[in-house]
Amino acid sequence: QGDFKSELIIKCYNKLINSSLYDPFKVIIGAFNTYSRYCGPREAVFTAICRKNYGCSHFIIGRDHTGVGNFYNSKDSKDIFNNLDIGISVIPFDEIIYDSNENYYFELDNSINKSKIKKISATLLRESIQNNTFENDYLVNDIVYKTIIDSLTNNEELFII
């Protein structure tokens, strides 16, 4: 509940793929319809296996892969793959932030001056849309922004109820 609807996500991906940003013969989009089980590391392994079986070669794991609150350590879902090889390349990362002074995205670490950064999250994006403060800023690509605005203008439901 509250997540973006699949239709909007697919629409945004299709707009990006059909833009001049990507070589149209090097991008394939396919739907893998599942839901989050919010069980942290176990779900990371399950989802990685499912994606491998679906044909994916890489699997991205963020700072808190489908964890709930502080129940799991933020690195548990990445660390479980240190001793596990399921035949898919795991790409771990911590929090990605935006530096407005540098106009650049970084992986957050202790060497970055935290006073000049902006956080990036789907929660911020959803809240800005729901509060009518959604702007074309650092959170989304211009094409995604226009797609979301068009959907809002057409009174389409953007979120799972």
Res 151: pLDDT:
96
Res 68: pLDDT:
73
The string of pLDDT tens digits covering residues 80-126 is 999 899 999 999 887 888 888 888 888 887 666 667 788 888 888 99
Res 118: pLDDT:
87
Rg for the chain (alpha carbons), in Å? Answer: 17
Cβ–Cβ < 8 Å for 89, 59: yes
Q: Kindly give, in sequence order, each residue whose CB lies less than 8 Å from that of residue 26, ignoring residues fewer than 6 positions away.
A: none
Res 110: pLDDT:
66
Q: Which residue has the tokens 């999250």?
A: 121
Residues of the chain predicted below pLDDT 50: none
Res 24: pLDDT:
72
